[in-house]
Amino acid sequence: MSDDDRAMMILEKAVFRAKKELEINQNFRPFAMILHNDGKIKSIENKVQDIEESYELLRNSMEIRAREDSVDVIALVIDTLIPERFEKGVPTGIRLHLEEKSQENKQVSARYIYVPYELCKTTTSNEIFAKLYAPVPVGFPAEFIKKPKN
């Protein structure tokens, strides 16, 4: 499996999980997913009630976990409002902070991927579904997976 395929796999799993939670709860709590070199995916979350505090704890945890040799891809996921300059008419989004070991030598080696969504009701029942739109990628230097300084 190529590096791009591995990153796409974790992205798909993270978006699927977020979408499922949106359809059940109309929101979701922050979570992270880590793909290890052996193909195993670990999902990480916490029970902290405050969303911002929960996200920060996950973020800090990713800084530590990224030092493990076996970590290949990290996705840190949160329900958010998309910044106006990236928003294309749909302000709510799933934001994935994606970092890959295969990209650590690049200057812009990390990405935020915003997946805009709307919560909609079906016309035949009161079931809610999340309508997802085309993702919006934004690159920046890595925070977690990066080469050690000499």
Evaluate whether residue 147 is within a structural domain.
no
Is 129 a domain residue? yes
Asked whether residue 78 is assigned to any structural domain, the reply reads yes
pTM above 0.75, yes or no: yes
Structure confidence by residue, pLDDT tens digits, 11-21:
999 999 999 99
pLDDT tens, 94-149?
999 999 988 887 877 889 999 999 999 988 888 899 999 999 999 888 888 887 66
Mean pLDDT computed over every residue of the chain: 90
How many domains does the chain contain in total? 1
Residue 144 lies in a domain: no
pLDDT at residue 150 greater than cutoff 70: no
Among 31, 45, 58, 37, which residue's Cα sits nearest to residue 144?
A: 58
Does residue 104 sit within a domain? yes
In a domain, 122, yes or no: yes
150 in a structural domain: no
- In a domain, residue 87? The reply is yes
pLDDT in tens, 29-49: 999 999 998 999 999 999 999
* Residue range(s) defining the domain that contains residue 48: 3-139
Cα 147 to chain centroid distance, Å, stands at 22
